Structure 1
């Protein structure tokens, strides 16, 4: 395997791992979560592993330190650390999903932490005691396996990684199965766990030919050296699956936030300018490219909710009742009926306020627009915004005394 091939294979994965690590570090600084800390550490261990194994870094590192194979030591220790933290991370997800209790997680992570720390210390001592001679990045294992110190280092490395990855892959599958069996609607999380399980099994599989290769080389059989070169290919493929598992749910959440921000625009245009509670409308970067989408979505939900509270004195039950009667005839679901009814009531309230009708002293909207859990407010407002153009709402709005209310209420604002 040429050095150029290794550079092309390892450097992009190091960059991807670095980007993921940076994004998780930003989230960690905003709000500390133990699993975010573990993901961040694991991502940067992936960066150091793939960078130090790249010949572009491997050779200068050996020349500067005077230890030719120092790059391999850094890479192998980082890979083992990645496997260990990956195992602990999956256990944390199991706790958050309800697979295991917090007390059991604490006991398991404490025991695993001690075992993995001892393995890492053993790897370090074995490598430092070894007589490391000339080697190449792609053949470090087989070139130096004859040395007892390097052989012990490799056995600890392979054994520790095989155990950690095997357990992590099983825990990923168990956690995904648990979410499915309990009716979880988090499709992205389940898919991410599946991808992580597949990627982890590939990485686990990559250690099998590696172990066979260096054990055969230690026994003097170099004819199996080719097995060792297949390990990075399998491991890199698994690493890409793992990064997709880490990044997939985050991308899915970002796409949903961008979609909901845009979906809420008509409702925002309808109620917020009427009540002068808005600040600055999100620009094209937020709605089109998703720049700062989480902040803008959160602010948009708050502004709409505040505006609906101010509109309550003008809300009446008649539009909602007419929509519900029509929805029953059309066979709409309960969610569609509720969204259409509230949308019609809000359209009517905006029309009444524009006609300078007096506010009702005792608003009835508390019953018609009841309080919901903050986690559900986003979903309810998105459904309401999409219902503004529903046929059943248009048919009811067409019969109001202000036929222009629906079209003018969603007029675009100047950007």
Structure 2
């Protein structure tokens, strides 16, 4: 591989990877979280690896530190750190190992492993007799005859193989706690991730073959294998970027989709309570979504004095009596009926309309709702729950035929909710 081609390829991948890493780092600063921080660190370390492997930068760094082969050691160390961060990230995504106790246990096992490998590598490099600079990416075969260098590379290969295999095992079963909607996207990401770290094994094979060839034959005829090893590294970097990029895009896409779905519900509960709206500047989609959910929950609490038990009871009665519903599933519409979400949607629609009508007072104590349905939903399921509630609302308003619902309100998507509003209105008014 020519030096010019290598420079163009490495620099392009380095700039792209560093840009993605900086983007993730900024996102992690706005929204603190271990997943985002580790994703940023993996990308930034990968960018540093490709940047150091760019021939002009490789030589410039070596000249600046008065150790022309030091960038080769830095690339190996950065690679181990990158795989180590990726390994820990897959531990977070493992359904049985994402607890704090399991994370601490993993750190006690793996942190000494990586630390010891890197320490030994640094000591062996310091002990090696390196007379002159080797070509970028050809340090291993050029000094394979030096015992300290061969030992250094052996330690590096052993540590890398162990870490890669452990990471690939973790990639077999992953999950994002609290984000079941990303399960399929995460599995796709992990397949690419497994390919990326698996290609590191090919890098080891090519480099080790070039080193053994240099020792046995006493020449550099197998140097092309060193170039082949870097081609495998390039492919690994592309696969890792593609996998992490797909997951990031999928998460952003799903966040924006849920923001659109939640808007009718958000408008419904905060229209008459604008003080609940949190002032915001430019935010990413996840922060916007989190704030929208917080405002919805706060808005729902302000509606409590106007909540009636009628709509919730009517929804339950209609679900039990509806002839087209069997086992909670509508055969006509072929869609699931979420009883709790439908009750919540009907209750909020009713309460918001009653509060907005100045001629109406809160329902009589006998008809007031003690607690909003779904109030005890776990925090990890809150997003999915609110989305299901919002799906019963339609952003296009139309007048309701009701004794007091004179103000235009979002129409209920499901006919059972619409019917429940009428029945609940009649029961409360009659009472």
Is TM more than 0.5 here?
yes
Residue in structure 1 matched with residue 362 of structure 2 by the alignment: 359
Say if 1:38 and 1:370 are closer, same or farther in 2 by CA, change over 3 A. closer
Decide whether the 8 Å contact of 1:206 with 1:232 is kept in 2: yes
Pick closer, same or farther for the CA change 1:377–1:366 going to 2, 3 Å.
farther
Deviations 1:151-175 (A, max 9, x none): 33322222321222122212322x3
Cα distance in structure 1, aligned partners of 2:141 and 2:15: 28
Say which structure is richer in helix.
1
TM-score when normalising by structure 1: 0.79
Q: 1:31-110 residue pairs with structure 2 within 5 A?
A: 41-91=41-91, 93-94=93-94, 97-99=95-97, 106=104, 109-110=107-108
Partner of 1:413: none
Q: Is the 8 A contact 1:202 1:237 kept in 2?
A: yes
2:284 corresponds to 1:292: yes
Q: Is the 8 A contact 1:192 1:246 kept in 2?
A: yes
Q: What is the Cα deviation at residue 199 of structure 1?
A: 1.6
Match of 1:400 in 2: 402
Following TM superposition, by how much is the alpha carbon of 1:65 offset from its aligned partner in structure 2, in angstroms?
Answer: 2.9
Aligned runs of 1:5-404 on 2, under 5 Å? 5-23=5-23, 25-26=25-26, 41-91=41-91, 93-94=93-94, 97-99=95-97, 106=104, 109-128=107-126, 129-173=128-172, 175-176=173-174, 186-187=182-183, 188-219=185-216, 220-279=218-277, 291-323=283-315, 328-331=322-325, 332=330, 335-355=337-357, 356-362=359-365, 364-367=368-371, 369-372=373-376, 373-389=378-394, 398-401=400-403
Cα gap change, 1:338 to 1:85, in 2 (>3 Å): closer
Q: What count of residue pairs does the alignment treat as equivalent?
A: 394
Q: 5+ residue gaps in structure 1?
A: 411-415
User: Per-residue CA shift, 1:214-273, capped at 9, x if unaligned?
Assistant: 210122253322222111121222223233444544443333222222222112222212
- CA gap 1:250/1:335 in 2 versus in 1, 3 angstroms: farther
> Relative to structure 1, is the Cα distance of residues 323 and 78 closer, same or farther in structure 2, using a 3 angstrom cutoff?
same
Query: TM-score of the superposition, structure 2-length normalised?
Result: 0.77
Residues of 1 paired with 2:120 and 2:361: CA distance? Answer: 80
Where structure 2 has 5 or more consecutive residues not aligned to the other structure, the ranges are 413-431
